[in-house]
Structure formats: C-alpha cells, structure tokens
Amino acid sequence: MYYEYFKVAVKNLRVRPLRSWLTILGIVIGIFLVTSLMSLSEGLKNSIMGELQTMGGDLIIVMPGEDMFSSLMGGNDLTDADLNSIERTRGVETIVAMPWGAEIVRYEDEAKTILITGISFERAITLLKEDMGWHTIEGDFPRSGRREILLGNLVAKNILPDIRVGDEVTIKGKRFYVSGYLRSLGNSQDDSMIMMDLEDFRLVTGKREGAPMAMAKVVSGFEVADVVRNIEESLEETRKRRVGEDTPSFSVLSSDTVSDMVGSIMGILQVAVFAFASIAIIVGGIGVTNTMFTSVNERTKEIGILKAVGAKKSDIVMIFLFESGIIGLIGGVLGVILGVATSKGAELILAYANQMFYLEAHLSFFLIFFGVAFSFFIGCISGYLPARKAAMLEPVDALRYE
C-alpha cells in the first residue's frame, strides 16, 4: 500500500516539474545553510579548543585590561614593574613575556614584512617545550648573544621558502642567523612569526620594556586558582603604589578558564548560526505548504473521484503527505550534498589563506542524518494541513468543482 502511495506521489510531482523543483529549492537552501555553517562553526570551535589545549593546565595568562576582550583590543602593555611583580608572586615558577611587532625582514633579494616576537629563551625554554609544545623540525632554539632567530613553520615554507638553517637575514640593518624552524603550532599567526632573543628584539624595535601579555607557570604542588588570586593581589598593590588606582586594570586567567570561556562563546555562536539557518528552512516549509494547497485546489475533482471509488480519508492524507515528504527528502539530500561540498571547498581555500586558525570542516554522521531527517520532517509537517483539507472534501462537492 505504501508503495502505491509513493508511486502516486511521484507521478503527481512529475506532472508539474518546474513548481516541484522550485519548492524543493527552498528546502535545499535551508539545509545547505545548516550543514555548511554548522560544520564550519564546529570546525572553528575544534580548532580553537585544540590550540588552547596544547597549553598546560598549570599556565596562567596575564593581560592588561578589565577583561579578556578589552585586553585583546586595548593596545596597552604590562610594564616591567608588573612583570617583576608577577615573577615574585608566591606560587609562580617562571614567567614568559612575549612582546611583538612587525618589521621588514630582508633575505637575499626579498623583503617581507613579518611579525617578530622577543622571548627570553634561557628562562622560558622548558615552558615553551613542555607546556606549549614548541619543537623544532630542523636546527635549535636561538642562543642569547648570538644574533640568532627561530622561524615559524609558514615562514620557512611559504613566506621565505628558500631560506635554510644558517642563512643570514637583515632586520633594521642588523644581521641575524637562522638557528632553526618550528613545527606547526596549530595557527597561522604563530606559524608566520619570527622569534628572537628578548634583548635582540628590544634592540631592533626600540621597545625597551613591557609586553602586551605574559604567561606564568605555576610551581608544582600549588593550586592554580590560589596562584591566580596571588597574582591579582600582587598586581593590585603594584598598580596602587605606582598610580594610586583603586581599580585593577588587568586580567588574570588560567588556561582552563580561557578554554571554558571560548567554549561557551562558540556554543552561543553555534546556536545563533542554527537559528539563522532554521529561518531559511521554515521559509522553505511555507513554500511546501503553499505548493500543496495549490495542488489540492487543482486536483479537487481527482480527489472526489478517488473518494467516490472507495478511497478513505487516510488514503488521501497519505498521498499528500508522501508528496510533501518527498519534496522535503529530496531537498534535504541535495542541501546536504551542497553543504558538504561548500564546507570542504571553504576548508581548502582557507588552507591557503592567512587565517588565524587552521580550519577543518567538521562533518559528522549526526549532522548529515539530521539535515536529511529534519528536511523530511519539515516537508511532512508543511503538507499536513493541505492533506487534511483534501481528506475532508465531500465527494459530491469535489466532483462538482470546476
């Protein structure tokens, strides 16, 4: 019986192909948006969370500003007094300040503007290797006083592709030698940087003190939350003595806290993305309803004949539900295929672009199944009222309809 319903539904859809495909297109657009945007947003979330998880759980991030976002946007720096205060705090093993700036780097006949950062490698080498996953593919980390630089992975591969360990570059008229280059750190911003000793950085850039952020490693045996409070108290005292401020203007966050914040923000973003895409699906569903009502009006006499020869109300309902369900199903399948292709295409394009994070589209079986099932469900729901209207027609009235 269900096969007969299916044959009748397909036959009716093929009678008016243009209207059927235009209705299907409305569903395709909605499912395409859901699949592509959800897969890309989930991929972005995984990329950011993976980057944060490379940091050890015993790291604390200190930035100027009342919260993380004002810190990132404010353009202020922690002073040397702030950094010394953090380093003297109880429970802090060591700190790493990483000032940065863009400079023109000359290699042979090439001149490229590249972001450089200064690091005190002698103090930070253990933290960089064990807590942040910094490891060289070739060569070694720079040595103090040797005018050496360490290249990010993309600098060695794309920005200056012919450069080798031991080669000489010129920055602000000063010669430096390549000591090594890093494996990928997981995001193109870090992979596109050049790292040098802190003193060399200050000599090149003229930035004699301070840094836009610092990372502190907690002494083994101390609770991270306790050390966070200790750093806050130390910085509050330092700021009050220096400028007489009662309100602290810095943010002290553990790596776990940052991960939780980013995870929450990305979760909200995904909900917003799904809500936005669902609007398109609802519009597509309204289109299905309109098409099915039109179909009922056009086939009123046909419905009367079916009921006159013994068709039940349930048979009429099923025929129209099958039609609307097929519209939703075809739209869902095509929308998922288009969404998957778009997501993978965006992934390939972004792989060659200078984006902050390496983005891999996350295409789960659940997302694909949900896209198809949801579109079928929307199609059936959209076709219910027209199907019910068709089923309630009286045979005599339907046969008289012109």
Q: Are residues 151 and 36 in the same domain?
A: no
Give the residue from 255, 287, 309 where a domain finishes: 255
Which residue, 267, 336, 346, 272, is CA-closest to 33?
Answer: 336
DSSP 126-151: HIIIIIS---EEEE----TTS-EEEE
Q: How confident is the model at residue 307 (pLDDT cuts 50, 70, 90)?
A: low
Residue with tokens 């039609």, as numbered in its chain: 323
pLDDT at 241: 60
Span 24-55, pLDDT tens digits? 888 898 889 888 888 888 887 777 776 666 66
Q: Are residues 236 and 308 in the same domain?
A: no
Q: Are residues 201 and 303 in the same domain?
A: no
Mean confidence (pLDDT) of the chain:
79
What is the tally of structural domains in the chain?
2
Residue 168 tokens, joined: 């000489």
Q: Are residues 322 and 187 in the same domain?
A: no
Q: Are residues 338 and 354 in the same domain?
A: yes
Q: Are residues 99 and 235 in the same domain?
A: yes
Residue type, 365: F
Q: What is the pTM of this model?
A: 0.65
Say how far apart CA 338 and CA 81 lie, in whole Å: 56
Q: How confident is the model at residue 351 (pLDDT cuts 50, 70, 90)?
A: low
Quick check: 214 pLDDT over 70? yes
Quick check: 246 pLDDT over 60? no
Q: Are residues 240 and 282 in the same domain?
A: no
Helices (H), 88-155: 121-126, 153-154
Q: How confident is the model at residue 248 (pLDDT cuts 50, 70, 90)?
A: low
Residue 172 is classified by DSSP as: T
Residue 152 tokens, joined: 């990010």
Give the residue from 232, 255, 278 where a domain finishes: 255
Residue 237, helix vs strand vs coil: helix
pLDDT at 245: 52
Element (H, E) at 102: strand 100-107
Say how far apart CA 131 and CA 129 lie, in whole Å: 6
Range of the structural domain that residue 223 is part of: 59-255
Q: Are residues 226 and 279 in the same domain?
A: no
Q: Are residues 216 and 302 in the same domain?
A: no
